[in-house]
Structure 1
Amino acid sequence: MENIPFTKRALKTLCGKISSEQADDDVRKTIEVFSEMGAADPEFTYSVQVDDDSRIMNLLWTTGKGRAQYHYFGDAITFDTTYRTNVYDMPFGLIVGVNSHFQSAIFAGVLLREEKVENFEWVFREFVKMMSGKKPVTILTDQCRAMEVAISNVLPATKHRWCKWHVLRKAKERLGALYGKNSQFKVDFHQIVNQMLTKEEFEGAWLQMLSTYALEKNPYLYQIYETRHKWAKPYFSGIFCARMTSTQRSESANHMLKTYVPPGSAMHVFVKQFNKLLYDRDSEESFQEKRTRLGGVVYKVGGPMEKHAAKIYTRTMFEKFQEVLYKSASYYIDELVPGEVYRASHFDSGRREKWYKVEYKVLVHNGYYTCECGMYEHMGMLCCHVVKVLLHLRCTEIPALHVMKRWTVDARDVLPLHLVQYQKDQGLVTSFSFMHSQLYLNCMEVVRLGDVNVDAYTTAMESIKVLVPKLKLVAVEGEGWDLSRG
């Protein structure tokens, strides 16, 4: 040590200076990446919160595509900040939803310095502001207490539940060998988490599981049972989640990002990799859009209701409806009160576990069907019990009240108020002048041609960006013209 020409304090000061210079350079590079994104996407926006020393505390950004997706599919979102593999050990989060093809739709990216209540409050306030004030109906998160408090403060009307992916991951950590690869306990536990539809089923299956494996005094299982209303499907009755609670759907940000963001990444690398993730998601969505448009549907039953579903739903959701239709064949219907109350009973009731529910009551009121399993309210698609009742009543179509637009081929046909008359499901109820009709027809031709390929889209958008400012100028100069008419 006596031969080293500097002290420990000098070395510490030098390292601190180098670290500070690297962080400053990283911020500069991150802002440069944001500038590039803004130049390519006029709708791109970001928000930064700094501390008293002008250091970044929190960072939130979204793209034009993310804002548009949120407009259509922002009713249920997940927010996950469990990914920390970066040079600053800062939590990185994604705000994600699910689109009409049952794919993850990324709405925004978030970097936090700390997972504290005030940090999360800032994120939720800024996110709602970026999304023009629209608040989600439901939000799914991990079991972070600070996030729970922030949601109750900033989004009091939003329903907050836990993402099932995190519940299962915690179970794997806390239960050890009991939750092993070939464990029968794991099979039973997953069945309770994923298959139970009613509270009676859940309670019965849970008690049997504890008794079978002598786990009545297991502290972890006791803890999650006490909080079951936050994660168990039967306790989500009436809460729309777009089926994101299922394990196949509940991809965490951690799960998505680890294949894109290398360990020890700087902030600007995070943002660049975020763009790659968005690009891949857009490619997958484009594939599903083409798959829906091309048709070629394979019918399993061939009945009129299945054909109606093929016309209205995207291909992925139509296939999920086919699964429901297939399951409905396992039930028979009893009319308890004609036109009002029905009972769907399972054929193989004797072969099931004693806690399995085999009879479901379906109520009908003013054309709206309510099943005690609550699947429509939870997911937005009819359950097999209601479908069986509809078939029993010889219905040839899915009732309009039970066609949730977010799952249909017209999910994005949601226009501003001054253009709402053009929506397919609204009907063209207004008569227009010759000029208006000609403008509309030519604009639709621009949309049709601009959607052919990327080059056509780029050319169309460049022309529109030049044309709109010119039209605004002429319209303002026009005597008595009211721009609010659209």
Structure 2
Amino acid sequence: MPGTTHRWCKWHVLRKAKEHLGPHYTKRSDFRAALHKVVNEMLTVDEFEAAWADLLDRYKLHNNTFLIQIFEVMHKWAKPYFSGKFCAKQTSTQRSESANHLLKGYIPPACPMNLFVKQYSKFQFDREAEEGFQEKRTRLGGVVLRYNFPREEHASQVYTRTMFEMFGQALYHAVRYDVEEVERGTRYHVRHIEAEKREKWCREMHTVDVHEGGARYTGECGLFEHMGMLCCHDIKVLLHLGVRKIPSFHVMKRWTIDACDNLPLHLIHYQKDQGPPRLSSYRHTALHLTALEFVQLGDSNVDAFDRAMDILIAGKAELTVLAAIKDGKSLVDQTQVGESANPTMTMMADGAHQEDERSEMFISTECGLGSVSVGGDSRHPLSTLLAPDRKKQKGRPTTVRDKPGYEIKYARSRFCTVCREKGHKSTTCPRRGDLLKKPRKIPTCGNCGVAGHKKTSCFNPVLPFVKRPRDGPVE
């Protein structure tokens, strides 16, 4: 996401401005408001450059080192330079910073692991409760229509409560514009009715293009491409053309009431926005059940298996000729037609496409098919769905689970304490140099203390046992 990976995000600019500009920033409230307006508002490139030049002229800051430095890297933090990138209106590190701020309210610093788990569970419960409250507020809360427009009523039915309030603000600002048709049905100019009262660097006119006969609108401000919500200029063109509902292309699902209605790709046809679920045809079901019975009979013995394979091979060759002509009512044809008509399936990423392939393989396995066709004519055997072969461990068989590599403890290998290499000890190390070897201790008898024999072969009389003073008094 642009503006998030580099340290020059807009919040960093405002924070550093307070440090570098000093009293000029803290004492001049008008300068502070002007700087926040330039940094935070969604402007075009020419508006931003004009507003920045006006800010420097008004407050005599042309020679300020900090402002010169951040203007040189404006493409890394200024919003107009990545207005066409979808960021869900988050163009800085505010998501991670807000998460850290929330965690600090629940988890104290240097807390033990048991307390962290307990407090994190409480934090998660509170967040889910807040999300549930917002869902209930959207579902049960009354909607107040300010203008009673058909577009406003449609927005109240599809958007969440918060996004509907944001749409209402854009609709409020759209009333202050006039529309001029430049090219019939394709291009319009939206002009502010009080342009003389606005800042001199603000643009008086914005261009809105209409594509595909009114199915898609693009404005110069790029608000929809940036956060997925129509801007006031696009809404004014909708009002001018008399469009009763927001185009489906501009209704982003993440801002709607059914945002949580996300199912896996092999069950996506059960979602509310995908229409009624597709049902298998009678002939597909009959063929499937008959094929299962045929497989069960052919698996009875070797003779039945050989005969079943001969029948299948001969039948496959005969059906190949008959299946060349399609009537379009088979389950495969209906699925392909449904996917081509669904724009969400054509815009899937590579990762989602791979997930769809795995889902199709799983479905084919449940249906009893031997292999599935994925991505054209490629065939994937069912062996790819099986678990990897378990590596046989040494020793007697056991029922203990297979442990990963980081849990297996290997015997510690010994190494030399002089050169830190394996294969020898410090006493036989070739790098010992002139280190002196410890003299070998001469063994002595444990009875008489004389060297040359052991206690078991000592001929001296056994001395009486005498306790030492620390052992206590001798009885």
TM range (shorter): 0.5 to 0.7
Q: Aligned to 1:425, what secondary structure does the other structure show? A: helix
Within-5 A mapping of 1:396-411: 396-411=244-259
Name the residue aligned to 1:299. 145
Name the residue aligned to 1:280. 126
- Cα pair distance change 1:478/1:392, threshold 3 Å: closer
**What amino acid is the match of 1:389?**
V
CA distance in 1, matches of 2:365, 2:206: 65
Name the residue aligned to 1:73. none
CA distance in 1, matches of 2:279, 2:131: 36
Q: Deviations over 1:29-50 (max 9, x none)?
A: xxxxxxxxxxxxxxxxxxxxxx
**What amino acid is the match of 1:327?**
H
CA distance in 2, matches of 1:181, 1:256: 32
- Cα pair distance change 1:271/1:165, threshold 3 Å: farther
Q: Aligned to 2:106, what secondary structure does the other structure show? A: coil
- Structure 1 residue 193: deviation in Å? 0.8
**Is this contact kept in 1: 2:88–2:227, CA < 8 A?**
yes
- Structure 1 residue 410: deviation in Å? 1.3
- Cα pair distance change 1:406/1:357, threshold 3 Å: same
**Runs (5+) with no aligned partner, structure 2:** 286-362, 373-475
- Cα pair distance change 1:476/1:215, threshold 3 Å: closer
Match of 1:422 among 259, 262, 270: 270
In the comparison of the two structures, how many residue pairs are matched? Answer: 292
**Is this contact kept in 2: 1:327–1:384, CA < 8 A?**
yes
- Cα pair distance change 1:477/1:216, threshold 3 Å: closer
Q: Aligned to 2:188, what secondary structure does the other structure show? A: strand
Match of 2:24 among 161, 171, 178: 178
Identify the range of structure 1 (181-190 vs 209-218) with the bigger mean alpha-carbon deviation: 181-190
Q: Deviations over 1:9-31 (max 9, x none)?
A: xxxxxxxxxxxxxxxxxxxxxxx
Within-5 A mapping of 1:208-287: 208-245=54-91, 252-265=98-111, 272-287=118-133
- Cα pair distance change 1:337/1:185, threshold 3 Å: same
Q: Does 1:204 align with 2:50?
A: yes
- Cα pair distance change 1:250/1:360, threshold 3 Å: farther
Match of 1:344 among 179, 190, 198: 190
**What amino acid is the match of 1:197?**
L
CA distance in 1, matches of 2:242, 2:111: 60
Q: Aligned to 2:105, what secondary structure does the other structure show? A: coil
**Is this contact kept in 1: 2:4–2:93, CA < 8 A?**
no
CA distance in 2, matches of 1:372, 1:350: 21
Q: Scaled by the length of structure 2, what TM-score is found?
A: 0.56
- Structure 1 residue 198: deviation in Å? 0.6
| Greater per-residue strand proportion | 1
- Structure 1 residue 229: deviation in Å? 1.4
CA distance in 2, matches of 1:384, 1:410: 24
- Cα pair distance change 1:329/1:188, threshold 3 Å: same
Q: Aligned to 1:298, what secondary structure does the other structure show? A: coil
- Structure 1 residue 143: deviation in Å? 3.9
Name the residue aligned to 1:322. 168
**What amino acid is the match of 1:167?**
V
CA distance in 2, matches of 1:479, 1:359: 60
- Structure 1 residue 345: deviation in Å? 0.3
- Cα pair distance change 1:430/1:476, threshold 3 Å: closer
RMSD: 3.2
Name the residue aligned to 2:313. none
Match of 1:381 among 224, 229, 242: 229
Name the residue aligned to 1:360. 206
- Cα pair distance change 1:274/1:140, threshold 3 Å: farther
Q: Scaled by the length of structure 1, what TM-score is found?
A: 0.54
Match of 2:35 among 186, 189, 195: 189
Pick the structure with greater CA Rg.
2
**Is this contact kept in 2: 1:237–1:377, CA < 8 A?**
yes
Q: Deviations over 1:399-448 (max 9, x none)?
A: 111111111111122221211111111112512589x9xxxxxxxxxxxx
Match of 1:395 among 231, 243, 249: 243
- Structure scoring higher RCO (CA < 8 A, sep ≥ 6) equals 1
- Structure 1 residue 371: deviation in Å? 0.3
CA distance in 2, matches of 1:255, 1:210: 35
**Is this contact kept in 1: 2:190–2:208, CA < 8 A?**
yes
CA distance in 2, matches of 1:268, 1:300: 51
- Cα pair distance change 1:209/1:140, threshold 3 Å: closer
**Is this contact kept in 2: 1:360–1:371, CA < 8 A?**
yes
- Structure 1 residue 174: deviation in Å? 3.2
**Is this contact kept in 2: 1:165–1:251, CA < 8 A?**
no
Name the residue aligned to 1:141. 4
CA distance in 1, matches of 2:94, 2:171: 20
Q: Aligned to 1:141, what secondary structure does the other structure show? A: coil
CA distance in 2, matches of 1:189, 1:428: 52
- Cα pair distance change 1:479/1:343, threshold 3 Å: closer
**What amino acid is the match of 2:130?**
E
**Is this contact kept in 2: 1:344–1:385, CA < 8 A?**
yes
- Structure 1 residue 476: deviation in Å? 12
- Structure 1 residue 244: deviation in Å? 1.6
- Structure 1 residue 170: deviation in Å? 2.8
**What amino acid is the match of 2:88?**
A
- Structure 1 residue 247: deviation in Å? 11
CA distance in 2, matches of 1:477, 1:329: 58
CA distance in 2, matches of 1:404, 1:323: 18
Q: Deviations over 1:142-198 (max 9, x none)?
A: 644xxxxxxxxxxxxxxxxx6533332233333333332762221111010112411
**Is this contact kept in 2: 1:163–1:250, CA < 8 A?**
no
**Is this contact kept in 2: 1:171–1:179, CA < 8 A?**
yes
**Runs (5+) with no aligned partner, structure 1:** 1-137, 145-161, 437-474
Percent of paired sites with the same residue: 55
**What amino acid is the match of 1:236?**
F
Q: Deviations over 1:282-311 (max 9, x none)?
A: 221111111111141111111111000011
